[in-house]
Amino acid sequence: MYAYLIRVFKSERAATAVEYALMVALIALAIIVAVTALGGQLSALFNRIVTTLTGVGV
């Protein structure tokens, strides 16, 4: 089992999988930061839209 794990971690395929995992993690982190930073602004925008549409009678 140990030898198998060593072979897997030394292979190109494993290195590529690790690189993809890091890219996915960084993209997820960027999305979380963007949603957290813009969440309040988006909520305020949607509230203004609802208020405007309600005032027009739509």
1-26: pLDDT as tens digits: 778 777 766 766 667 888 899 999 99
> Which residue has tokens 């089992």?
1
The predicted model scores a pTM of 0.53
Half-sphere exposure of 46 (CA within 13 A, CB side): 6
Q: Which two tokens stand for residue 23?
A: 């890219």
The CA-based dihedral angle spanning residues 44, 48, 53, 55, taken in that order and rounded to the nearest 10 degrees: 140
Chain CA centroid to CA 52, Å: 31
The pLDDT assigned to 19 comes to 87
